[in-house]
Amino acid sequence: MNSIFSIKHWSLRVRIFLSMIFITLIASILIASVSIIQFKNESQVYHQERLDHKEYQIKEHINYVMATTPHPLITQNIPSIFRYKIFEIANIHNLEISIYDLNGRLLINSKAPMIKGQISPNLPQYIIDKVKFSKEKRYVSISENQGKTFRSSYSYLLDYVEGKPIGIINLPYPEDDSFYKNELQNFLSIFAIVYFGMFGISILLAYYLSRYITKSLETISNRLTETSLTEKNKKIELVSNSYEIDRLVQSYNNMIDELEESANKLAQSEREEAWREMAKQVAHEIKNPLTPMRLTVQSFQRKFDPNDPNVNQKLNDYSKTLIQQIDTMSAVASAFSNFASMPAQQNETLNVVDVVQLALDIFNEECIRFSSETTEIITKIDRTQLIRIITNLVKNAIQAIPEEQPEKNIQVIVKKEANNAIILVKDNGKGIAKEDFDRIFEPKFTTKSSGMGLGLAIIKNIIENYNGTITFESKIRKGTTFKVSLPIINK
């Protein structure tokens, strides 16, 4: 069940559709998140600026009171100086005011008159230290209580004449976010309406685009599925108004032409191969009795004692005739054998990369992957024989992978090393046992249930005729890599 819903089973149309919806959803979430963060930041900046402004106004008011008081400006006189004025200042600025001495003991508060003998909470020592050691001689704390946020400003009350601290002023400021919350709520409501409209449009647009993009690909995919090496393949007649799709269609049509040409060559090669095999068998059957017959006749000729003078002449004529016929049969057998051997080498100057790609066009297996480090590697070799080398190695790689194996991978890699063209054919099949390493290129040796075991021996002979080499590496249940090295032509 899980494998059915895994991403790798989704069609390209579904992936494009869901990707566009996902992008729209993520963009909307990001916009909403950034907006919420922006509203919160603006709210914090607003409250901080408002607290700073009120603190400045209250201090100006307090300085005015100290400038007009007849009492000496010392800590002990603060309750007397602000006994009545502190309530007036608090009412004017609509903010609670508390004044402590330098040790943190409460001297006066605007919330209620101080009662003699009343025990009031002192400032924590860490607040006194933060005010004392801060650069601005000021500390603002932020706390939450019953879901509300409070800012408390602590700063020195200075003697405006000498500038010495004589107390600590505390201004508790409750943050009222109702305005920003309403603004945020209104924004999110409008955004939700716009978002759902945009989301609906995105669904329709994603559906249309996914169908438009994949319609041409689906046509090409169906035609590729129907492509066969043994039957006549139709070209695709499709104009998609898309450069990439049109290029893909053109490549497919070109591949059909090349595939038809390759199929004809392959059919011809298979017919020639059948004749070669037949010639080998005929040559083998004819050659076997020739030598014993020749030796028998010659021996008979030597041992025969002629009594009749005419018998010798007749015997000689007979022997010569028989030997001549045997020589003729031997010549016929040699002719068949020569026909069965590989054709004469044609030293064509060709691009290895192009020929290898051409050889791979006849295979329909999706597990075959081709790659090249360069677009051109020039060498001299017969084109047909190079195609035969690649075809044989790839066929062996396909047969080396068990049918029941879920993941099949065959890589054909072309690259250049020094003055050699390198062709690598890798598979992830069952591998070759170490005890078979020395026999793998022997004629008529095979690890498969079918075949004559001549393929690797033949292509090894072809490669060596062109001064090349073929080697391999293999691990059981890991796969095998064949490496063909051919000398290249330097321009």
Helices (H) and strands (E) in the chain, counts: 10, 12
Q: Are residues 256 and 400 in the same domain?
A: no
Final residue belonging to a domain, choices 322, 340, 358: 340
Q: Are residues 284 and 325 in the same domain?
A: yes
**Residue-level pLDDT, tens digit, the chain, 491 residues:** 454 455 556 666 777 778 778 887 888 888 888 888 887 787 778 778 888 888 888 888 888 888 888 888 888 888 888 888 888 888 888 888 888 998 889 888 888 665 554 556 788 899 888 888 888 888 988 887 776 778 888 999 888 777 889 899 998 888 776 666 777 788 778 878 887 887 788 788 877 777 776 777 777 777 777 776 656 677 777 665 566 677 777 777 888 788 777 777 776 676 667 567 656 655 655 654 555 456 556 655 665 666 666 667 656 755 665 665 566 566 555 545 544 555 556 678 899 999 999 888 878 888 999 999 899 999 988 888 888 899 889 988 998 898 888 899 999 999 999 889 999 999 999 898 888 888 888 765 666 654 445 678 778 888 888 889 999 999 998 999 999 999 987 75
Question: What is the domain count for the chain?
Answer: 3
Residue 277's SS3 state is helix
Q: Are residues 131 and 82 in the same domain?
A: yes
Is 188 within a domain?
no
Beta-carbon contacts of residue 183 (< 8 Å; ≥ 6 apart) = 39
Range of the domain at 72: 12-180
Torsion of CA 20, 22, 25, 31, to 10 degrees: -90
Q: Are residues 62 and 167 in the same domain?
A: yes
Name residue 461's amino acid.
N
Is 206 within a domain?
no
Q: Are residues 48 and 154 in the same domain?
A: yes
Is 231 within a domain?
no
Q: Are residues 79 and 170 in the same domain?
A: yes
Q: Are residues 282 and 360 in the same domain?
A: no
Q: Are residues 93 and 123 in the same domain?
A: yes
Final residue belonging to a domain, choices 180, 204, 228: 180
CATH number for the domain spanning 262: value is: 1.10.287
CATH number for the domain spanning 129: value is: 3.30.450.20
Q: Are residues 291 and 354 in the same domain?
A: no
Is 465 within a domain?
yes
DSSP 75-103: GGGHHHHTTTHHHHHHHHHT---EEE-TT
Q: Are residues 153 and 256 in the same domain?
A: no
Is 459 within a domain?
yes
Global pTM value: 0.36
Is 146 within a domain?
yes
Q: Are residues 151 and 249 in the same domain?
A: no
Q: Are residues 359 and 271 in the same domain?
A: no
